[in-house]
Structure 1
Amino acid sequence: MIRTDEWHDLTAGELPKLMLDKLESFGFTHDGSTYSYREDLLAGSFRLYVRVQENGAIATLLLDTESEEPYVLHLVENAQGAFVGEVRTAYQAVLNRIGEACGEHGSFHGSYVEELLRYVQNTYGDEIEYPWKDDMDAAVIRSHLTRKWYAVFMKVHPSKIGLGGSQPIRIMNLHGTAEQVAVLVDGERYFPGWHMNRKYWYTVCLDGSIPMFELQRRIDESFELSRPKKRR
């Protein structure tokens, strides 16, 4: 029997809010008010348990299958070493898959993006939308004033915006004036608007490379451009 005090309660930054109706299709089992999932890691050396309550609380437990004792070093920030790093990576990979498949914001989860979306909701009252139901890797935020887009989310191959790498990256397109876009785009942090009018849109990577305060300011600017035009 696993004691309740052996579980690690996740914070909002470790995993996004999960949609309960998506959990069973991912592989969770439902028993009363609890959804449970387990997966073996590192060729069966560890077993990860994930528990989700109907109130949204999420907890994990990682067991060393040889000793049947909880393993916690992957949760210790300053714990170093190749083995701990391997365990931490395997653990996080499972959480990432759960977040992408069952998270409230689909593929666009993670503490950086969650903070960004909270800012938009708290400042403007707008929510992320998925207008293409068969493509959860593309989403938008519309102005509640005009229904115009002022942020477009996508998941693309890095080569699409001129970066190296083989794994898909999360990006966001923002609206700007022609003068602003011409000044901002540098091919390092700001890129020509992918799949948009490149004169008036630019792209940023949602990897934390741009400080949150700066990205919030860019969103403010994009929102302002979505406002109704003033009549003369």
Structure 2
Amino acid sequence: MFDELFRRKTVDIQKAILFGFVQSNSNYIYETDILDGSFLLQIVITPDGNIDTKLTEKAIGDEYVLYKTNATGSFVGEVRKAIEAILKQVADQCYNTEIFKSAQAKDIICYVREKYGDELEFLWEKFSDNAIWRRKDSEKWYGILLRVKASKLGLDDDKLIEILDLRIKTEDIESTVDNKCFFPGYHMNKKHWYTLLLDGTTTIEEICRRIDESYLLAKI
């Protein structure tokens, strides 16, 4: 029911502990009162990072389960709203967003963070699989990380792949784009951008070098 709050997120146990979760066997548990103290909400983070909840009506000590069913009505709606508010805090403060899953995507995210101090910016709510890096001085983008269907690049496959858009000198496009590893800039000006696959074909060292080149091209 509340799965959407945790979509594409991975738990950070250290953050969860700071939030107030306490280890119990292989789970981590957090308890708080809701609805003016009439209910005790227990939130459980399982070993695989999933969330479970248990709600107890304190006056009688019985578990309240209607919020997990298709039951309707103003009261059960109020209960769900109160639980959702707490779970949103947990999702925001105890979990990290993990849109990009390939090893190379993770490596370049770390590389950019360590070298330039830049974090990905997710600018489009409708396209949550797209994010950009921009220079702090010029505010110009120098990298775009995306998840798209391979067919969008003209490949004979419909699986989701991770790609990186980078800036390039116009005179270098023809010698770079081969439509195998390097493609015309996806959703960008193809005179100034190109796309590379994050599928292991290009080494991480080469990708980082190309990120550096793109960063320089985005100067003031």
- TM-score when normalising by structure 1: 0.56
1:119-175 CA-partner distances (Å, limit 9, x unpaired): 111111111110112321111011111111111122211111111212111111100
The aligned counterpart of 1:94 is none
Contact in 1 for aligned 2:144/2:165 (Cα 8 Å): yes
Q: Could you tell me how far 1:106 is from its partner in structure 2?
A: 3.2
Contact in 2 for aligned 1:194/1:203 (Cα 8 Å): yes
The aligned counterpart of 2:204 is 212
Name the CA distance, whole Å, in 2 between partners of 1:149 and 1:131: 12
- TM-score when normalising by structure 2: 0.59
Q: Could you tell me how far 1:110 is from its partner in structure 2?
A: 3.3
Contact in 1 for aligned 2:10/2:49 (Cα 8 Å): no
Are residues 1:190 and 2:182 paired? yes
Name the CA distance, whole Å, in 2 between partners of 1:35 and 1:115: 31
The aligned counterpart of 1:50 is 48
Contact in 1 for aligned 2:182/2:196 (Cα 8 Å): yes
The aligned counterpart of 1:199 is 191
1:43-102 CA-partner distances (Å, limit 9, x unpaired): xxxxxx5158xxxxxxxxxxxxxxxxxxxxxxxxxxxxxxxxxxxxxxxxxxxxxxxxx9
Contact in 2 for aligned 1:106/1:136 (Cα 8 Å): no
Instruction: State how many pairs are aligned.
Output: 147
The aligned counterpart of 2:133 is 141
**Cα gap change, 1:146 to 1:35, in 2 (>3 Å):** farther
Equivalent residue of 2:199, what SS? coil
Name the CA distance, whole Å, in 2 between partners of 1:103 and 1:134: 21
Q: Could you tell me how far 1:36 is from its partner in structure 2?
A: 2.8
The aligned counterpart of 1:180 is 172
**Structure 2 stretches lacking a partner, 5+ long:** 1-8, 17-26, 32-42, 51-93
Q: Find the structure with the greater CA-based Rg.
A: 2
Q: Could you tell me how far 1:104 is from its partner in structure 2?
A: 3.5
1:166 aligned residue (158, 161, 174): 158
Contact in 2 for aligned 1:35/1:51 (Cα 8 Å): no
**Cα gap change, 1:165 to 1:179, in 2 (>3 Å):** same
**Cα gap change, 1:216 to 1:103, in 2 (>3 Å):** farther
**Structure 1 stretches lacking a partner, 5+ long:** 1-15, 22-28, 38-48, 53-101
Q: Could you tell me how far 1:194 is from its partner in structure 2?
A: 0.9
CA RMSD of aligned residues (A): 2.8
